[in-house]
Amino acid sequence: MKILLRFVATTLVILSGQAPAAEVAMRRVLSCVGPDAKIEVYVPQNAKLNKRVVGAYSLDLTEAGKGKTLEPVHVQYSRDRKSVIVDQYTRKLPPTIVPIAGATVNFDQRFATDAKCGPFDRE
């Protein structure tokens, strides 16, 4: 039974074309600070954002005594490439649009509101 489960898991990884997050080097592309939390967005190191990529969203609520969470997000450029779209699809929130130059945005309505984001790190 264990061999079958390992085979199925390996097959799913191969068919999906994506390696597990633990095996992918990530780079931080957005860093934001709000009144209740710090937010960071990461994408795979060699990702091109012309198409949607799976990245990671970090919500640091340490100061509120709630710890730090990490969740998958979809990240891509807007059509005019003047903004980055961060889609927290696992939480079914509307996508957040962050201007490349940085701005104050709302990622959700609980903890990540009025977050001041620095410029997008294109590297």
Contact 82, 75 (CB under 8 A): no
Q: Is residue 9 part of a domain?
A: no
DSSP 89: G
* Residue 122: predicted pLDDT: 67
The total of structural domains in the chain comes to 1
Burial 92-106 (b: 16+ CB within 10 A, else e): ebebbebebeeeebe
The pLDDT of residue 64 is 73
Structural domain including 40 reads 21-117
Q: Does residue 16 belong to any structural domain of this protein?
A: no
Question: Residue 97 domain-assigned?
Answer: yes
User: Is 2 part of any domain?
Assistant: no
Return the pLDDT at 22.
Answer: 58
Burial class of residue 107 in the structure, from the number of CB atoms within 10 Å of its CB (0-12 exposed, 13-18 middle, 19+ buried): buried
Whether the CB-CB separation of 57 and 90 falls below 8 Å is answered with: no
* Residue 36 CB burial class (10 angstroms; 0-12, 13-18, ≥19): middle
Q: In this predicted model, what pLDDT tens digit does every residue of 16-31 receive, in sequence order?
A: 445 555 578 999 999 9
Q: In whole angstroms, what separates CA 27 from the centre of its chain?
A: 11
Give the pLDDT confidence of 64-120 residue by residue, as tens digits. Answer: 777 788 999 999 999 999 999 999 999 898 999 999 999 999 988 777 889 999 999
